[in-house]
Amino acid sequence: MEQIPIADASRRFTTRVQAALFPTLAQSLVSLALLSLIGFVVYAFVDWALIRAVFSGSDGSVCRAPSAGACWPFITHKMGVFLYGRYPEAEIWRVNLTYVLALAGLTPLMLPGVPRKLLLSLYMLIVFPALAFILLRGGLLGLPLVGTELWGGLLLTLVIASVGIAASFPIGILLALARRSDLPIVRWAATGYIELVRGVPLVTVLFMASVMLPLFLPPDVTIDKLLRALVGVALFSAAYLAEVIRGGLQAIPRGQYEAADALGLGYWRKMGLVVLPQAIRIVIPGLVNSFISLFKDTSLVLIIGLFDLIGIVEQSVQADAKWFSPQTAATGYFFAGAVFWIFCFAMSRYSASLERKLENRGRS
């Protein structure tokens, strides 16, 4: 292998940078302005997060100095609340065990080359939800009952996001198929539902599920507030997923439908074995975008009294007088934003790798 001298490599790098950033006078000015802005933002963040930051202390008094930066002791002292909400400390092992069971099924399911994908899928869709419900709520197998009103923080965010994604995906597929149905009544019903739900904000759906729904129920009938929120989020997200999947169905060439009909496949086998796999492969970016949007929208449950990660951060800042300060609030919101970014970025990168793998498989 030919070795390139260091001087030549440096010269080539400089030439590429000059050609990319400073090809003309106008583009050079734009590049300099953007580089200056990026440098200013990076310096300001480093100054706030590291140089002027406070790294130790037992309350917010250490962070109230005018020159203080990020208040990291607030994060370390409140980490348990941010992760588990008001879940009883003696029962937190149940939450951790739920996370382990989820990773045990999800990790091999996402890794290529791992056998028995069907069994893993059945575990994640059937077995794990039952185990997670028993572990988190309790009341069975000798586990103390922990009401959903005590759930909060990252735990509640992950519960709403995972249940919303898992429930809305199959509903969205059925709605997309129904909207393309040859039966007018089915097509009209699906179209009406999709357009109605897409025409209102999620805040309205959550408000209706939390406040208005109990007014239509008998006085002795109550439905858990978290369950109502989960149903509202799933039905809301399903309408958007239906339109994404419908776009994939429309992109499938007519010849694929005719080939499936020529093989004598019925409607459901044709869709399940021929059409839907190709359609979902086409719309992976749109699906992941909807999942990321759903994950971020979990913060809206704060308006109905459920404290997800952002809600518990806000409550910790405002309700605890000894930690209250502008820097404490800024640090808490930065921590919540960083957690959301990590999860959303992970979903985005996984979808990109899945797209590349499917594209390479299609070429081969």
Domain boundaries, the chain: 29-54+61-70, 88-143, 146-363
Residue 283, both tokens? 């719309």
| Both tokens assigned to 302 | 């704060």
Percent of the chain with pLDDT over 70: 95
pTM, entire model: 0.86
* Cα gap 17→29, rounded to integer Å: 14
Is residue 316 within a helix (H) or strand (E), and if so which, with residue range? helix 309-319
**Eight-state DSSP code of residue 325:** S
**pLDDT value at 79 more than 50:** yes
Query: How far apart, in whole angstroms, are the C-alpha atoms of residue 146 and residue 95?
Result: 11
Report domain 146-363's class.
Answer: mainly alpha
Nearest Cα residue to 171 out of 244, 78, 237: 237
Mean pLDDT on 133-137 = 91
Mean pLDDT of 3-12: 59
What band does 1 get if pLDDT is binned at 50, 70 and 90? very low
Residue 158 pLDDT: 93
71 forms bridges with which residues in the sheet? 54
Q: Could you give the CA distance from residue 18 to residue 28 in angstroms, rounded to a whole number? A: 9
- DSSP secondary structure letters along 151-205: --HHHHHHHHHHHHHHHHHHHHHHHHHHHT-SSHHHHHHHHHHHHHHHTS-HHHH
Q: What is the DSSP string of 27-39?
A: HHHHHHHHHHHHH
Instruction: Give the contacts of 347 (CB within 8 A, at least 6 positions apart).
Output: 288, 291, 292, 295
Q: What is the pLDDT of residues 183-209, one digit of tens each?
A: 899 999 999 999 999 999 998 888 888
Instruction: Tell me the per-residue pLDDT of 13-41, one tens digit each, with 9 for 90 and over.
Output: 677 767 766 777 778 888 888 889 999 99
Residue 313 CB-density burial (10 A; 0-12 exposed, 13-18 middle, 19+ buried): buried
Q: How far, in Å, CA of 249 to CA of 235, rounded?
A: 21
Q: What is the pLDDT of residue 13?
A: 66
For 357, the token pair is 């793998």
Q: Which of 5-9, 125-129, 135-139 has the lowest mean pLDDT?
A: 5-9
State mean pLDDT over 322-335: 87
Mean pLDDT, the chain, as a whole number? 86
pLDDT score for 40: 94
